[in-house]
Amino acid sequence: MIWLLLAVAQASAAQWRFVTEDFPPFTYPADTSANTYAGVAAGGPLVEVVQAVCARLQQDCAITLYPWRRALRLAEQGQADGIFTLVSSPQRQQIFHITRMLVTSRYSVFARDDNTFVFSQPTDMAGRQVGVYGPSGTSYILSERLKAVPDVHLHVTADNRRLLRMLASGRFGKKGVAVLNQDVAWHLIEDEHLVGLREAGEMGPITYGIGLSRSTISEAQFKAFEQALDEAIADGTVPAILRRHQLEPAY
């Protein structure tokens, strides 16, 4: 207990800077009327979770939204102390302390209405151009699952909104598809007023957590953060946030 209290005291000495992305319904700009999504304050359920944990630690935390590539670069280089939403992978575990997974969603395959494709297994992707958001956890997991599939062409796009627009406009060809987080895709299809798109099948579940930089956050500080997060789950704070936003918990 004394060790954790000392960690909290040490953590409170300086502001922690978290970065995230435009990834609705999980994270999005706090001011939705902003002309740009780069460098603005972030909102959303996972932002509320981080804010609740920081409040328990009496830790000053700033949470800023950037395009994912820039957010990841800032966090990997230690210019940001934390990042979310984060998919756990061996490479990322070397760079970040990663919390327990907080929310569960699913990867789904989307196609145009004039494409009769139905997805049931990775080999169904053979001979197709597949759009995916990345570099990201989505592109990492998709590339792993399609390693043994012949003649599949991945088109990596740095923005989910652009990815869906490209799919809707036929940029990936008549047989082309896109792989996205299911919750994000349906949110953006409605938000962008996109028509002519459908879900062609689920690829599998995915979970997201919070990463803290190993270069700026000590093991003791991370343990204190983890304990505060566990307490916020146990007393109903985190479940209430996820329930209000209709998200499925992963814990």
Sequence length of the chain is 251
At 158 the pLDDT is: 85
Buried b (16+ CB within 10 A) or exposed e, 11-41: bbeeebbbbbbbbbbbbbbeeeeeeebeebe
At 230 the pLDDT is: 98
Find out whether 108 and 180 touch, Cβ atoms under 8 Å. yes
At 75 the pLDDT is: 97
Beta strands in 7-99 (DSSP E): 16-20, 28-29, 40-43, 61-65, 82-86, 96-98
Beta strands in 50-101 (DSSP E): 61-65, 82-86, 96-98
SS3 (DSSP) at 54: helix
At 136 the pLDDT is: 83
Give the model's confidence band at 7: pLDDT under 50 very low, under 70 low, under 90 confident, else very high.
low
* Predicted confidence (pLDDT) per residue in 151-194, tens digit: 999 999 988 999 999 999 999 999 999 999 999 999 999 999 99
Tokens at 117, concatenated: 């494709």
* Predicted confidence (pLDDT) per residue in 233-246, tens digit: 999 999 999 999 99
- CA angle, corner 136, sides to 80 and 149, nearest 5? 160
Give the model's confidence band at 45: pLDDT under 50 very low, under 70 low, under 90 confident, else very high.
very high
Q: pTM (2 decimals)?
A: 0.84
At 215 the pLDDT is: 97
Q: State the alpha helices, DSSP H only, in 83-153.
A: 90-95, 137-145
In one letter, which amino acid is 18?
F
Pick the more confident residue, 50 or 137: 50
Q: How many CB atoms lie within 10 A of CB 166?
A: 17
At 157 the pLDDT is: 92
CB neighbours of 182 closer than 8 A, spacing ≥ 6? 105, 106, 107, 108, 199, 202
pLDDT beyond 70 at 8: no
Q: What is the rounded distance in angstroms from the CA atom of residue 63 to the CA atom of residue 22?
A: 12
* Predicted confidence (pLDDT) per residue in 48-67, tens digit: 999 999 999 999 999 999 99
At 11 the pLDDT is: 46
Name the least confident of 7-11, 44-48, 204-208, 215-219: 7-11
What single DSSP character describes residue 117?
Answer: -
Find out whether 138 and 107 touch, Cβ atoms under 8 Å. yes
* Predicted confidence (pLDDT) per residue in 9-39, tens digit: 554 569 999 999 999 999 999 986 665 667 8
Name the least confident of 32-36, 207-211, 212-216: 32-36
At 2 the pLDDT is: 53
* Predicted confidence (pLDDT) per residue in 182-202, tens digit: 999 999 999 999 999 999 999
Tokens at 96, concatenated: 């970040």
Q: For strands 82-86 and 61-65, give the pairing.
A: unpaired
Tokens at 3, concatenated: 């060790």
Dihedral over Cα of 15, 40, 191, 133: its sign: negative
Q: What is the rounded distance in angstroms from the CA atom of residue 172 to the CA atom of residue 175?
A: 7
Backbone φ and ψ of 27, nearest 5°: -145, 150
